[in-house]
């Protein structure tokens, strides 16, 4: 097995309703930026992994591995599409990482892309719900806001988590997004605005939900030997972990905990030989505000049931003890589902390079990404360091 793997280049588009950008334009833009950032030529790339959840249903375009290779001017190279719902990007990165660790490749691009806003919300909901259990959830009328609402209710019932605490996640995410030039929602919201926003699936309201988004992100990964030759500030992958769980929520051991996250976190900490207190900051999957509270508990930043309090106490803010989602998260930055896992990695790399501008976390050396598919059927976690 080859030695360490590093990220040596990053690229990301603006996130939002990008009606004048096509699917292929978005991913080509992010990929080109990543390749330029790495300072490499196309002919040095050994492979391409693309995370995309549902381009066929969102845009009518399948076979996107070939499409992306073609429109990047790389036709001929091995290209693979990876799908694990909203964890497609994180999993594409992991597949790229494995291809380097196996010794099969030396330099690989991992990208993520989704173009969601060309369809009306009702059909986007149906497409997204393809990531749930069709027979037991979708056919009965459940949507992702509804499934996460069930988790929120159960968390509130078991631990006394309050709607104010859940809402504080959104207030913090929107604030961080104002500091991120690529974010979809660059405006602050107050606790009152979040609590009074229109109901979507009680107790979740509009401002507890991630939006529907277009966007793409890409990173260049290299083996240790190549990274040291090509890059002055490689960001090292310390752990790559995945776990799965039942696809349907009702089959889970608990509605208020995500076993896939708990298991993937355990594997990741073991691989990196680190513990939760060693992590300086994390980008976690806050598709709905309750999901961030459950994520920080699963990652061991606090005990189960204490995520609401940790948030309310301000510990997850940029200047808190464990900053969460400095990018603005899925809530503020946006959630183009297949791109999200790679976008989280782009943020961690920017932070670890010290390039995150106004949202820079002082002295950040170790960052974690946590990317969920569906209601927790997949969880992909990566840990990165700059040393
Ligand atoms: N947060 C904040 N504002 C939002 C928003 C969100 N999540 N979603 C939409 N808006 C804003 C829009 O910008 C628009 O503002 P404007 O009137 O100032 O232009 C307004 O609300 C209406 O937008 P619209 O697109 O009509 O909203 P919608 O009702 O069609 O969609 C949701 C709202 C919550 C249903 C949609 O964002 C959604 O489905 N989110 C969840 C996505 C999801 O499930 N992802 C997968 C997770 S596992």
Q: Domain locations in the chain?
A: 5-120+213-235, 131-209+236-385
Mean pLDDT score, 248-275: 97
Using the mean position of ligand 1's atoms as its centre, give its distance from the Cα of residue 206 in Å.
Answer: 7
Mean pLDDT score, 308-313: 98
The answer on pLDDT for 339 being more than 90 is yes
pLDDT score at 1:
52
- Mean pLDDT for all residues in the chain: 97
**232 Cβ neighbours under 8 A, 6+ residues apart:** none
The answer on pLDDT for 342 being more than 80 is yes
The answer on pLDDT for 155 being more than 80 is yes
pTM, to two decimals: 0.98
The answer on pLDDT for 39 being more than 80 is yes
Across 189-205, b (16+ Cβ under 10 Å) vs e yields beeebbbebeebbebbb
Q: Around Cβ 278, how many Cβ atoms within 10 Å? A: 15
Residue nearest to atom 28 of ligand 1 (CA): 121
pLDDT score at 109:
98
The answer on pLDDT for 311 being more than 60 is yes
Gyration radius of the chain over CA positions: 19
- pLDDT tens digits, 178-202: 999 999 999 999 999 999 999 999 9
Tell which one of 212, 329, 377, 378 to mutate to probe ligand 1, the residue whose CB is within 8 A of the most ligand atoms. 212
pLDDT score at 2:
59
The answer on pLDDT for 88 being more than 80 is yes
The answer on pLDDT for 297 being more than 60 is yes
The architecture that CATH gives domain 5-120+213-235 is 3-Layer(aba) Sandwich (3.40)
- pLDDT tens digits, 98-148: 999 999 999 999 999 999 999 999 999 999 999 999 999 999 999 999 999
The reply to whether CATH 3.40.47.10 applies to domain 131-209+236-385 is yes
Which of 44, 42, 91, 97 is CA-nearest to residue 71?
A: 42
pLDDT score at 52:
98
Establish whether domains 5-120+213-235 and 131-209+236-385 are of one fold: yes
Atom of ligand 1 at shortest distance to CA of 143? 44
> Cα–chain-centroid distance for residue 366?
17
The answer to whether 48 and 79 are in contact (CB under 8 A) is: yes
Q: Around Cβ 222, how many Cβ atoms within 10 Å? A: 28
Mean pLDDT score, 159-184: 98
- pLDDT tens digits, 345-357: 999 999 999 999 9
The answer to whether 310 and 345 are in contact (CB under 8 A) is: no
Cβ < 6 A, ligand 1 pocket: 86, 121, 125, 128, 144-145, 185, 200, 206-207, 209-212, 287, 335
Atom of ligand 1 at shortest distance to CA of 200? 34
């Amino acid at each position: 097995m080859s030695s360490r793997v590093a990220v040596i280049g990053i690229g990301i588009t603006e996130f939002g309703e990008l009606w004048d950008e096509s699917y292929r334009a978005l991913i080509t833009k992010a990929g080109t930026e990543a390749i330029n950032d790495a300072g490499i030529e196309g002919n040095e790339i050994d492979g391409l992994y693309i995370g995309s959840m549902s381009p066929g249903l969102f845009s009518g375009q399948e076979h996107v591995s070939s499409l992306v290779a073609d429109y990047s001017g790389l036709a001929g190279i091995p290209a693979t599409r990876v799908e694990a719902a909203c964890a497609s990007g994180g999993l594409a990165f992991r597949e790229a990482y494995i291809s380097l660790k196996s010794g099969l490749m030396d330099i690989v691009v991992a990208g993520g892309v989704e173009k969601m806003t060309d369809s009306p919300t009702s059909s986007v909901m149906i497409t997204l719900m393809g990531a749930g259990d069709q027979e037991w959830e979708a056919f009965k009328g459940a949507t992702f806001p509804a499934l996460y609402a069930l988790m929120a209710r159960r968390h509130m019932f078991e631990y006394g988590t309050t709607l104010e605490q859940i809402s504080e996640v959104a207030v913090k995410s929107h604030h961080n997004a104002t500091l991120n030039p690529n974010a979809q929602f660059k405006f602050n919201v107050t606790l009152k605005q979040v609590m009074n926003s229109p109901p979507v699936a009680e107790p979740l309201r509009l401002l507890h939900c991630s939006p529907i988004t277009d966007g793409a992100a890409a990173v260049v990964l290299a083996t240790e030997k190549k990274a040291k030759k090509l890059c002055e500030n490689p960001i090292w992958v310390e752990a790559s972990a995945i776990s799965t769980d039942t696809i349907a929520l009702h089959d889970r051991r608990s509605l208020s905990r995500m076993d896939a996250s708990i298991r993937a976190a355990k594997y990741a900490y073991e691989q990196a030989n680190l513990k939760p207190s060693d992590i300086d900051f994390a980008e976690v999957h806050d598709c709905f505000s309750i999901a961030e509270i459950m994520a920080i508990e699963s990652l061991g930043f606090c005990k189960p049931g204490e995520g609401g309090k940790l948030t309310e106490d301000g510990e997850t803010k940029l200047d808190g003890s464990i900053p969460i989602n400095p990018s603005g998260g899925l809530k503020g930055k946006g959630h183009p589902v297949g791109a999200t896992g790679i976008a989280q990695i782009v943020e961690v790399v920017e932070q670890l390079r010290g390039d995150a501008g106004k949202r820079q976390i002082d002295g950040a050396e170790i960052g974690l990404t946590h990317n969920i598919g569906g209601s927790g059927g997949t969880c992909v976690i990566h840990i990165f360091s700059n040393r």
